Amino acid sequence: MSLELKHVTYTYSAGSAFQATALDDISLTIEDGEFVALVGHTGCGKSTLVQHLNGLLKPTSGQVLLDGQDINGEGINRRELRQKVGLVFQYPEYQLFEETVAKDIAFGPKNQGLSADEVDRRVRRAMEHVHLNYDKLVERSPFELSGGQMRRVAIAGVLAMEPKVLVLDEPTAGLDPRGRDRILGMVRELHREGTTVVMVSHSMEDVASLATRMVVLSHGRLATQGAPREVFKQRELMAEAGLDIPEAAKLCQALIARGVPLPEDLYLQDELREHLAQLWKEARA
Amino acid sequence: MASSELLSVEQVSYAYEDNPSPALKHIDMKVKPGEFVAVLGHNGSGKSTLAKLLNALYLPTEGRVFVCGMDTADEDRLWDIRSRAGMIFQNPDNQIVATIVREDVAFGLENLGVPHDEMVRRVDQALETVNMTKHAESAPHMLSGGQKQRVAIAGILAMEPSCIIADEATAMLDPKGRRQVLTTVQRLNRESGITVVWITHYMEEAVQADRVIVVSDGEIVLQGKPREIFSQVERMRELHLDVPRMTSLAHELRGDGMPLSEGILTVDEMAEEVSRLLCPSN
Amino acid sequence: MMTNITLGQYYPVDSPVHRLDPRVKIVLTLALIVCVFLAHSLIGYALIFAFIFFTARLAKIPFKTVLKGIKPLRFILILTFVLNLFFSTAGNDLIRIGSVRITDQGLRQSVHYSLRLLFLVMGTSLMTLTTSPIMLSDGMELLLSPLKKLHFPAHELAMMMSIALRFIPTLMEEADKIMKAQMARGADFETGNLLARAKAMVPLLVPLFVSAFRRAGDLAMAMESRCYHGGEGRTRLRTLKLTKQDTVACLLVAGLLLLIILEGMLLPKGWLL
């Protein structure tokens, strides 16, 4: 399943005094099985872009294609579309509303019109995916849980629709390191199992270790895209887009400047460690 | 208590009414005037409870808390205590009361009954200090998260506090807002000598403090200079807390036999040491 | 993104009318209402209309905008007119078709009542168009503050009003977000009968209430930490001071009132209706 944006432009409050272009001629393709990280400073249009992926917002001009079909065209079933492209908003725990965890997670699958057995199976699977204990938590009120648990329930609510493409808007915002690692671990697993993932993130460190491709937005325009290794090399462009680069990449560049013979495109802590350990071995020998 | 301490927490325990197990257990903590102390801990560690005890929002179940020598249990000094130890909260939206920035900054002064002309002077000065003068007449909902937090800081500054207690004030902000807020508070600490208690779960922020206090399960488990704390990589991982990337890389490389010193925190320090080891000629 | 919502009807321009003290505007609006009820003839109504028209001019508000305030009330206006016209039986017949009669007094009454209602709405919208909600609540607080002695919670009401105004945009943005999030889970807010639609609101309303309560708790704590303890001993940054313009406005309205009273005394009843 591939998602394609063709020359998508989106203007808020078109025609009024408050008119503002949030997206400006964005074209990009998200292929099956990719892990795409969508990065950019606040107000660059990331959140607007993700809402185009499941038809919550319609482009002012341009098209969004799912497997070649215009998602805003005639005869498209919106519910089916939103089930295929699951969108997890920022702070999703603020959308919980049901009396029990089970009922809340079941909301999506029920809207799909699935049988009670199937809904139950999906609730179980989704809870497994987000590492929540079914027997212990399923009848609890979601409002009694901890912040991190609530977020996982909310994500399970989207996973239960078994989307082909999972879009997450800053899923770790506001979480402590433990909560963050849990969510990221879970997203990594889902990607490994074959789900296509699009993740909006502010943390270049998280992006570095997860994404297969990065899409960089700046002021509503596509600044660059490519594998993290390629993107993190473009330091100036990243700085212009108001973005940091991983510390490992910074160290690599600082060391090269001091005459340490390293490849210039290292950005992962582990690979940098390997290179440095190797150099140390050679230096001692 | 010794008068040299600005904040003094003495054998404090605190239990919430609906929860039998205490959120804080026998905490002892002292903060000197002008110090920048970071309190680090994961969610549910009790660090927010600690913050609220320092502003007399909560009163200890056991033990005593002193702010500038005043016992927080002393009701007659309540307004004095709260204006000396100002507090910034996590959610930028939920602490702005007024419909216009300028009036929100004045809120504390209005409550304290400060005369009008004095109020105007202090409000304008506080807005200037946090660089928000040009937004003085804006509606709060038009501001970014970082700007809202700076308005909250101005609201406290106007009360001319001795101490700012920030309870995860950056947790809901983007990197830019986070930097803005932290640098504003750091500047106040350096230039005006305002004492800061910075409660956070971001290690990057704790690294910049004079002293770090690590809280876990309602107890202080580590305490010391950032370098001493973060070099305990294994211990910090056990506590589910991050250590700076460079510290953990140095730790791993030490395991690979590279004689790097403990307590490396930044890219510059790391680059310095590594290049010295690998290119001794330079 | 709904960051640019204007609240209520406030028409944000700078004009002498906008700059008037809200207390004065509230009192003068009341005086205008008294005028409306004292007016006896079309001349009186013409005076009131002229007053409203020129005030709107002075306030730089297009008259169309003032008339917009009437729109929601148009059915009531028509109803008032029609009911009075056909169902008052006193007076002499003007038209009689079968059992349907229209009397001179009936016509008089229906014109009077509809005009009163019309001017009432126009007068008050003129006030809300030229006074921001927060100024209005300030004015109310100060006007009602003498009642504090009788334990009337004037400060508390004004504070509640102010907080409500502060949080309406925040909550609207939040509602928009929650709605989209539930739509992403297949919720349908647009189709179905009334009952189905009401039920569909649950996933929107529950999180919105939960969030409003959470915000209220947070805000209460933030207010306390900034030494809030009710209205006692409080000073204000925004103070209201009466200016010359306020005096002029008072004189103008007093003049109008006088004219209306004179009109009632001097003109014979029923003259020009």
Collapsing DSSP to helix, strand or coil, B113 comes out as: coil
Chain A residues within 8 A of B258 when measuring between CB atoms: 276-277, 280
Q: Residue C2: what pLDDT?
A: 38
Contact C226 B55 (CB under 8 A): no
**For position C18, what pLDDT does the model report?**
92
The model's confidence at residue C4, banded by pLDDT at 50, 70 and 90, is very low
* Cross-strand pairs, B212: B38, B224
Over residues A111-157, the pLDDT tens digits come to 999 999 999 999 999 999 999 999 999 999 999 998 899 999 999 99
* pLDDT-above-70 percentage for chain C: 95
pLDDT score, position C50: 94
Q: Are residues C37 and C31 in contact, defined by beta-carbon separation less than 8 angstroms?
A: no
* Total domains, chain A: 1
Would you state the pLDDT for residue A42?
87
Q: Are residues C126 and C195 in the same domain?
A: no
CA A218 – CA A261 distance, rounded (Å): 33
Closest CA to A1 of A86, A114, A61, A79: A86
Q: Looking at residue C3, what is its pLDDT?
A: 39
Scored b (16 or more CB within 10 A) or e, C196-232 reads eeeebeebbebbbebbeeebeebbebbbbbbbbeebe
Same domain, residue pair C216 and C249? no
> Nearest-CA neighbor of C263 among C28, C41, C32, C35?
C41
Query: Do C210 and C256 sit in the same domain of this protein?
Result: no
Residue A197: helix, strand or coil by DSSP? strand
B167, pLDDT greater than 50: yes
Portion 203-232 of B in contact with A at CB < 8 A: 203
Phi, psi of A135 (to 5 degrees): -65, -35
B80 reaches C (C-beta below 8 A):
no
- The rounded distance, in Å, linking the Cα atoms of A275 and A264 is 12
**pLDDT at C177 exceeding the cut of 90:** yes
Q: Residue C228 and residue C104: Cα distance in Å, rounded? A: 62
Alpha helices in B18-115 (DSSP H): 47-53, 78-84, 101-112
Cβ of B270 within 8 Å of Cβ of A251? The answer is yes
Q: Is residue C143 part of a domain?
A: no
Chain B window 44-63: which residues touch A at a Cβ cutoff of 8 Å?
A: 44
Predicted local distance difference test score (pLDDT) of residue C151:
87
* CATH superfamily to which B7-226 belongs: P-loop containing nucleotide triphosphate hydrolases (3.40.50.300)
- Residue C271 confidence (pLDDT): 55
C105 reaches A (C-beta below 8 A): no
Do the Cβ atoms of C158 and C141 come closer than 8 Å?
yes
- C237·B102 Cβ contact <8 A: yes
Chain C closest-CA separation from residue B264 CA (Å): 38
Question: In this predicted structure, which of B83-92, C102-111, C199-208, C244-253 has the lowest mean pLDDT?
Answer: C102-111
Contact B274 A269 (CB under 8 A): no
Closest chain C residue to B119, measured at CA? C237
pLDDT at A249: 94
Say if A95 falls within a structural domain: no
Q: Which residues fall within 8 angstroms of residue C139, CB to CB, at 6 or more apart?
A: C21, C22, C23, C25, C26, C131, C240
Residue B48: per-residue pLDDT = 92
Q: What share of chain C is helix, strand, coil (3-state, %, to 5)?
A: 70, 5, 25
Q: Quick one: DSSP state of residue B201?
A: S
**Of residues B227 and C9, which shows the higher confidence score?**
B227
Q: Please give the tally of structural domains in chain C.
A: 2
For residue range B141-152, what is the model confidence (pLDDT) as tens digits?
999 999 999 999
- Please state at what angle helix A177-192 crosses helix A116-129, rounded to 10 degrees: 120
B106 touches chain C (CB under 8 A): yes
Residue C126 above 50 pLDDT? Answer: yes
Q: Does C181 share its domain with C262?
A: no
Which residue of chain A comes nearest to C174, CA vs CA? Answer: A94
On whether residue C32 sits in a domain, the answer given is yes
Half-sphere exposure in the Cβ direction for C251 (13 Å, CA): 6
Range B53-72 average pLDDT: 95
CA-based R_g, chain B, Å: 20
* Residue A35 falls inside a structural domain: no
> Is B266 within 8 Å of chain C by CB?
no
pTM comes to 0.88
Mean pLDDT of A93-113: 94
What average pLDDT does range C63-71 have in this prediction? Answer: 85
Instruction: Give chain B's mean pLDDT.
Output: 93
Average pLDDT, rounded, for chain C? 87
Does the pLDDT of residue A166 top 50, yes or no? yes
Residue A263 lies in a domain: yes
Report residue C145's pLDDT band, with 50, 70 and 90 as the boundaries: confident
Residue type, A198: V
DSSP helix, strand, coil percent of chain B (3-state; round to 5): 45, 20, 35
C166 touches chain B (CB under 8 A): yes
Q: Tell me the residue range of the domain where A276 lies.
A: 246-285
**Which chains reach chain C with 3 or more Cβ–Cβ distances below 8 angstroms?**
A, B
**Residue range(s) defining the domain that contains residue C48:** 16-131+241-266
Task: Name every chain B residue with its beta carbon within 8 A of the beta carbon of C134.
Answer: 99-100
Residue of C nearest to A157 (CA): C185
Contact residues, chain C, for A98 at CB < 8 Å: 206
| Shortest CA distance from C222: residue in chain B | B95
What digits encode the pLDDT tens for the residues A58-95?
999 999 999 989 999 888 888 889 999 999 999 999 99
Q: Measured between alpha carbons, how far is B120 from B123 in angstroms, rounded to an integer?
A: 5
For residues A41 and C30, what is the distance between their CA atoms, to the nearest angstrom? 52
Determine the Cα–Cα distance for residues C78 and C113; give it in Å rounded to an integer. Answer: 11
Q: Give yes or no: residues C121 and C159 share one domain.
A: no
Is A260 inside a domain boundary?
yes
Least confident segment among A107-111, B87-91, C30-34, C132-136: C132-136
**Same domain membership, residue C247 and residue C216:** no
Task: Report the DSSP pairing between strands B36-40 and B195-200.
Answer: parallel
Q: Where are the domains of chain B?
A: 7-226
User: Across the strands, what pairs with A30?
Assistant: A3
- Which 3-state string (H, E, C) describes A6-42? EEEEEEECCCCCCCEEEEEEEEEEECCCCEEEEECCC
Residue owning tokens 């725990």: A93
Task: Please state the φ and ψ torsions of residue B12, each to the nearest 5 degrees.
Answer: -90, 130
Mean pLDDT throughout C204-212? 94
C248 and C219 both lie in a single domain: no
Tokens encoding A65 = 């294609």
Question: For position B63, what pLDDT does the model report?
Answer: 96
Q: Annotate C82-104 with b (16+ C-beta within 10 A) or e (fewer).
A: eebbeebeeeeeeeeeeeebbbe
Which residue type occupies A267? Y
Per the CB < 8 A criterion, the answer to whether C124 and C25 are in contact is no
Q: Is B192 on the interface with A (CB under 8 A)?
A: no
C146 found inside a domain:
no
Tell me: do C118 and C197 sit in the same domain: no
User: Residue C273 has what pLDDT?
Assistant: 54
Query: Which among C119, C121, C126, C120 is positioned nearest to C11, based on CA atoms?
Result: C126
* C-alpha dist (Å) from residue A134 to A130, A280, B256: 10, 49, 42
Is a pLDDT exceeding 70 seen at residue A16?
Answer: no
B44 burial (CB, 10 Å; 0-12 / 13-18 / 19+) is: middle
What is the pLDDT at residue B239? 93
Q: What is the pLDDT of residue C21?
A: 94
Chain B partners within 8 Å of C223 (Cβ)? 97, 107
pLDDT in tens, A186-221: 999 999 999 999 999 999 999 999 999 999 999 999
pLDDT confidence tier of residue C40, bands split at 50, 70 and 90:
confident
Which residues in chain C have their CB less than 8 angstroms from residue B166's CB?
Answer: none
The token pair that represents A15 in the structure block: 């025609």
Q: Per-residue confidence at C102, pLDDT binned at 50, 70, 90?
A: confident
B95-117 burial, b at 16+ Cβ within 10 Å, e below that, comes to bbbbbbbbbbbbbbbbbbebeee
Task: Identify any residues that bridge with C80 across adjacent strands, giving them in sequence order.
Answer: none
Q: Are residues C61 and C191 in the same domain?
A: no
CA distance B61 to A140: 30
